[in-house]
Amino acid sequence: MGLLRLFFNALVAHVSGDMASGHGDTSATDGGLAIPTNLNREILYESFISIDSLVFISEMNQFTSEYMEEFVKKTVLVAKELLVENSSAFNQFNNYLDKVDGVGKDLKDALELRNKYFNSDRSTIGKELSAEKYRELRSRTNGRIPKLYYEDKDEEYVQMMKRLMNAKHEDDGIHKAINREMAEFYGEKTKISKTLVLDSRISLSIGGSIFAPGVLVGVVKSLAVPNVSEVINRVVPRLVSPCEDLISKMHLKSSTERRSLVMDFLYGCLERRNGLFKEKIDKAFEERTKILDIYLKGDSKAQEKLRILDKFQEDEINKLISVFKNIRDEDLVLRIDRPVVDAYINLLKSNQKPAKEHLYDLFKK
């Protein structure tokens, strides 16, 4: 990635973060992700050097993965420990001299190492990105840094920076990658029960964001047509087609990339927004409309029932969004293949407990 492009993307990401800080709790990002406000964590991990600044200098100086980890340990994590001990250390972080005096040895070494890279860059982009983040944090605290509490996100931070080193190879570039990683790093996950995790993995895999499985079971059972089996055989592959596309795109991606794709997909279903999956999502919803037209044909309360069904569907998608925002990385696994499709078709045709158990067993393997 060229210097100009890297700078442009990093700057856009930084500016979008600035805009978010002026609007309250979160910053909307691509794919429905948001960067949560977590001031304590931001000060601990970004007051010394901002994420976009570190991405920039690592690219400019061709950091290896091993050196990135070493650099972080000698700068960001040293500064973090000093802040926890005494938050007034923050006031020393805007020293950009090559040789630093009047501070303790640990901070002196960290500042001089960071400043070596800042000052060797004639464009000063890395330093300016970091200095702007520093000023933003000072402004948000009204110049009085509160007592900071300890957080151990060191390993997550290191792994995030390593992933961002490789983000230049992604189609959507460093801007979206930084926002995605920041949303993950600053977010707090709610614990989700194993049962809800399994239910949600199955629902999303079999097209639940298009047509909630529990609702579809009831609808097909009530279809007044002679060829219900044929309808089911035709409709299921069309409903799961968007998820097949999602799963294909998730292959070999990092956990944050997989989560981002899932959120893109779910918000695409909820808001019918433009995106990677729009064409297939639209076609799948057209299939849902056809089924509901058959189901509600001749019903005097068709419009009222359709509003209820649409609300059920919206609730299902919102439930999936909540779960997949908070799901553990190791549970972020979807599946759609011939055995799953066949099991779902069998469940819709029979509506029997053994058919449901068989479908669930496929996701427990």
pLDDT digits (tens, 9 = 90+) for 311-340: 999 999 999 999 998 999 999 999 999 999
* Two structure tokens written together for 318: 């919102």
Backbone angles phi, psi at 77, to 5 degrees: -75, -30
What pLDDT is attached to residue 338?
A: 97
Backbone angles phi, psi at 34, to 5 degrees: -135, 150
Whether 22 shows a pLDDT value over 50: the answer reads: no
**What's the CA angle centered on 105, arms 80 and 111, to 5 degrees?**
60
Element (H, E) at 26: strand 26-28
Distance CA 323, CA 197 (A): 7
Read off the pLDDT band of 78 (50, 70, 90): very high
Residue identified by tokens 């097909």 is 220
**Percent of the chain, pLDDT > 90?**
73
* Two structure tokens written together for 339: 């055995």
What pLDDT is attached to residue 168?
A: 67
Exposure letters 168-189 (e unless 16+ CB within 10 A, then b): beeeebbbbbbbbbbbbbbbee
What pLDDT is attached to residue 336?
A: 95
* Two structure tokens written together for 343: 């099991």
Read off the pLDDT band of 17 (50, 70, 90): very low
Per-residue pLDDT reduced to its tens digit, 194-230:
999 999 999 999 999 999 999 999 999 999 888 899 9
Per-residue pLDDT reduced to its tens digit, 99-153:
999 999 999 999 999 999 999 999 999 999 999 999 999 999 998 898 999 999 9
Whether 238 shows a pLDDT value over 90: the answer reads: yes
Nearest to 207 by CA among 250, 247, 236: 236
Whether 176 shows a pLDDT value over 90: the answer reads: no
* Two structure tokens written together for 299: 């019903």
Distance CA 127, CA 124 (A): 5
- The rounded radius of gyration (Å) of the Cα atoms in the chain is 25
pTM for this prediction: 0.68
Cα 359 from chain centroid? Answer: 28
Strand partners, 36: 26
Whether 32 shows a pLDDT value over 60: the answer reads: no
Whether residue 156 contacts residue 72, with contact meaning beta carbons closer than 8 Å, is answered with: no
